[in-house]
Amino acid sequence: MNVLVVGSGGREHALAWKLSQSPKVQAVFVAPGNGGTALDPRLENINITDIQALRAWAALEKIALTVVGPEQPLAAGIVDEFRKHGLRVFGPTQAAAQLESSKAFSKAFMKRHGIPTADYETFTDAVAAHAYVDEKGAPIVVKADGLAAGKGVVVAMNLRDAHEAIDFMLSAGPDQNVLGVTHNQGADGVAMPRVVIEEFLQGEEASFIVMCDGKNVATMATSQDHKRLLDGDQGPNTGGMGAYSPAPVVTPEVHARAMREIILPTVKGMEKDGIPFTGFLYAGLMIDAQGKPKTLEFNCRMGDPETQPIMMRLKTDFYDVMMAATSGGLNGVELEWDRRPALGVVMAAHGYPLAPRKGDVVSGLPRLTDDPAVDVMVFHAGTTRQGQDTLTSGGRVLCVTALGSTVKGAQHRAYEAAQGITFDGAQMRKDIGHRAVKP
């Protein structure tokens, strides 16, 4: 069978790599892919990003299964388009993808279905928003409504920062994009800048990801991301600077609560609301000292970089799982995981996250192996091939991911491998996994 993975990040490289290991899969195409998927002889890049053109190509090539990595094509309706033409695709419809693409939608959904999350209000009017934060006090969290690649959130530790964030996020006119945020339409059909202001939650974060077929779920291994740019969780928010799996903060009790209080009510709620959820459902959890999980956000896709360590640990044939997930067959499906932890360290470009530089030559990349039992993998993200060279072409460039008998062991191997790879201005945190490694 031929399979298509949509996207160009480290997540898509890892998904394509895992799918290519299935004996049932002949070819894995990645659209548009990156320098790493171009290098791998089992993967082939397809330079099409337009959704309708990609659908036409997939039909022509008799693609048996399409897996969509990033949120943008999902929010743009790629799943609806593929399904309309009888193509098998794993991901949420445009309507269901609102769980991620609209914070206002997902917060209202959670309120309606009693799913634990921070208290909040939504505003289009700056005066009312300012009055609200004055009333609530700091710390408080201000979020732009719309897709902003993790950059539309300000955790304001004082009122001045909160007021500034409101002005910044609401200042853009209907046509402008602050932070690259796509404005959502309000009830009146007008796309307006909108902010969600919510209660500050304390605790430890974890990424809780499941696969849904509309009714049933299969859980992925747990993981933890590192969102801030710098060591010690300092500096600006990014898409994620490294991740490891499993996350010890998700104890069996926390896992059971997250399933019972968040995941299952969400899947049931979406079904009841007439927009059944298919695809990866990713709950960003904040787990308090008592082990109570609350939902920080939903994503309607796998996490990046969480996917990279998670895929390193997956033992089940991923193609089989995907076929079950796209035919309502996830009931009773349990995925098998390598008991060893995996940890991925992101190497980011000079200037990331604000203004990543492109065109730096990457050297020291290890040679590819097709051994599925490999315990160190360099997943590519913002890379491109030029002649014999690999050049940086985006913010997050590589995710060096390793298995180890302990988190510390995986951390050691990942950093050892990363040290051999260089490009000008490379940024890398030195403490990925710190919460799980005893000093």
Q: Encoding tokens for residue 263?
A: 């995941």
Stretch that binds ligand GLY, among 214-222, 299-307, 408-416, 431-439 (CB under 6 A): 299-307
Site string for ligand GLY, 213-232 (x = CB under 6 A): ------------x-------
Does residue 306 belong to the site contacting ligand GLY (CB under 6 A)? Answer: yes
Q: Are 242 and 432 in contact (CB under 8 A)?
A: yes
Q: Which of 36, 284, 341, 404 binds ligand AMP (CB under 6 A)?
A: 284
Q: Are 209 and 302 in contact (CB under 8 A)?
A: yes
Does residue 153 belong to the site contacting ligand AMP (CB under 6 A)? Answer: yes
Q: Encoding tokens for residue 270?
A: 């979406």
Does residue 10 belong to the site contacting ligand GLY (CB under 6 A)? Answer: no
Closest separation in Å from C-beta 257 to ligand AMP: 18
Rg (CA), the chain: 21
Does residue 258 belong to the site contacting ligand AMP (CB under 6 A)? Answer: no
Does residue 141 belong to the site contacting ligand AMP (CB under 6 A)? Answer: yes
Round to whole Å and give the CA distance between 432 and 428: 9
Does residue 299 belong to the site contacting ligand GLY (CB under 6 A)? Answer: yes
When the beta carbons of 22 and 102 are compared against ligand GLY, the nearer one is 102
Q: Which of residues 168-207 bind ligand AMP (CB under 6 A)?
A: 198-201, 205
Round to whole Å and give the CA distance between 214 and 73: 19
Q: Are 168 and 159 in contact (CB under 8 A)?
A: no
Does residue 145 belong to the site contacting ligand GLY (CB under 6 A)? Answer: no
Does residue 297 belong to the site contacting ligand AMP (CB under 6 A)? Answer: yes
Q: Encoding tokens for residue 56?
A: 């036409």
Q: Are 147 and 182 in contact (CB under 8 A)?
A: yes
Largest Cα separation within the chain, whole Å, is: 60
When the beta carbons of 123 and 208 are compared against ligand GLY, the nearer one is 208
240 binds, among ligand GLY, ligand AMP, none (CB under 5 to 8 A by kind): ligand GLY
317 binds, among ligand AMP, ligand GLY, none (CB under 5 to 8 A by kind): none
Does residue 118 belong to the site contacting ligand AMP (CB under 6 A)? Answer: yes
Round to whole Å and give the CA distance between 37 and 279: 23
Helices (H), 76-158: 78-84, 98-101, 103-112, 126-136
Query: 301: how many CB neighbours lie within 10 A of its CB?
Result: 26
Q: Which of 3, 243, 275, 296 binds ligand AMP (CB under 6 A)?
A: 296
Question: How open is the CA angle 346-352-358, to the nearest 5 degrees?
Answer: 95
Round to whole Å and give the CA distance between 372 and 121: 48
Does residue 304 belong to the site contacting ligand GLY (CB under 6 A)? Answer: yes
Q: How many helices (H) and strands (E) does the chain have?
A: 14, 23
When the beta carbons of 81 and 297 are compared against ligand AMP, the nearer one is 297
Residues that bind ligand AMP (CB under 6 A): 118, 141, 143, 150, 153, 155, 198-201, 205, 227, 237, 284, 296-297
Residues that bind ligand GLY (CB under 6 A): 150, 225, 239-240, 299, 303-304, 306
